[in-house]
Amino acid sequence: MTMQLHLQDVPARNGRLWIRHGFKVFQRQPLALSSLFGLFLFVGFIAMLVPGLGPLLTFASLPLLSLGFMLATHLVLQKKTPTAGVFIAPLKLTPERRRNQLILCFSYAVAVVVIGLLADWVDGGSTRDLQKLIAENADNEVIANAATDPRLIWGVVTRLGLVTLLSVPYWHAPALVHWGGQGVAQALFSSTLALWRNKAAFALNALLWGALLMAIAGAISLVFGLLGIEKIAPMALMATGLLMSTVFYASLYFSFVDCFMFGAPSDVLSNQG
């Protein structure tokens, strides 16, 4: 079934509401949603072990991760428990939509690989060298010296900048194919237009997520430091990071709802305070 989607402008304050709604949905089904994210990470880890194709398969699965969580959030709002089936549901509609989803997935993966190669060229491979030293538990002084390579910052800027730009057309594209029946080119264009027209809301959303993560990380480090158990802090930070990532993916549904006037239960979306 194809739903009528209409692009609309939303106020900047909605960027905050998307986060709040994400937390509300998570509170309704914390175990189910956390399990979905944990399952995705596990499958991604297994995929990375596939020689040659591992990274490509992992990158290709990211558009389905975002759409899968949108479907999961939609189910939670209908008082249903989401299962792992949300990740393959987009591939079980019409052959045309399945083909379009796969094109989105693998075009995204290829783009990420190209960005990685370009960034390696920009930083001369210094980022990969530093990662290798850290993975091998090299001497701290050697790692510190490698971290001072001035090319590192240009590699980071290249990666983050290009990946951020890449995320714009792919942000809503899988959902537009799934619910709107749009073609690949139309979905990529519609997603780009939606983020541009609502850039204030998305900018506020990104700033608030960044501030929230920094505040949580700072609080955890401070509390564990005062308690004299600093060594446990990294584990707490990792667990909190996984939880916040789950909430973030659960909130994606609401940005799509707002940008394209897609119906959702009023008990969550009508609370605009």
Give the C-alpha separation, 203 to 206, whole Å: 5
Compute how many other C-beta atoms are within 10 angstroms of the C-beta atom of residue 58.
19
Report phi then psi at 150, rounded to 5.
-65, -15
- Which residues touch 165 (CB under 8 Å, ≥6 apart)? none
Q: Answer for the pair 17, 272: CB distance below 8 angstroms, yes or no.
A: yes
Is a pLDDT exceeding 60 seen at residue 54? yes
Is a pLDDT exceeding 70 seen at residue 264? no
Residue-level length of the chain: 273
Q: Answer for the pair 180, 187: CB distance below 8 angstroms, yes or no.
A: yes
- Sequence ranges of the domains in the chain: 14-268
Report phi then psi at 51, rounded to 5.
-60, 130
Compute how many other C-beta atoms are within 10 angstroms of the C-beta atom of residue 269.
15
| Amino acid identity for residue 236 in this structure | A
pLDDT band at 273 (very low <50, low <70, confident <90, very high): very low
Share of the chain above pLDDT 90, in %: 56
Share of the chain above pLDDT 70, in %: 86
DSSP 91-123: GSS-HHHHHHHHHHHHHHHHHHHHHHHHHHHHH
Give the C-alpha separation, 166 to 46, whole Å: 25
pLDDT band at 26 (very low <50, low <70, confident <90, very high): very high
| Amino acid identity for residue 21 in this structure | H
Average pLDDT for 93-107? 93
**pLDDT digit string, tens, across residues 241-259:** 899 999 999 999 999 999 9
Compute how many other C-beta atoms are within 10 angstroms of the C-beta atom of residue 227.
10
Give the C-alpha separation, 41 to 68, whole Å: 13
Q: Answer for the pair 133, 210: CB distance below 8 angstroms, yes or no.
A: no
- Dihedral sign for Cα atoms in the order 34, 235, 237, 127: negative
**Token pair belonging to 158:** 């290249």
Report phi then psi at 157, rounded to 5.
-60, -40
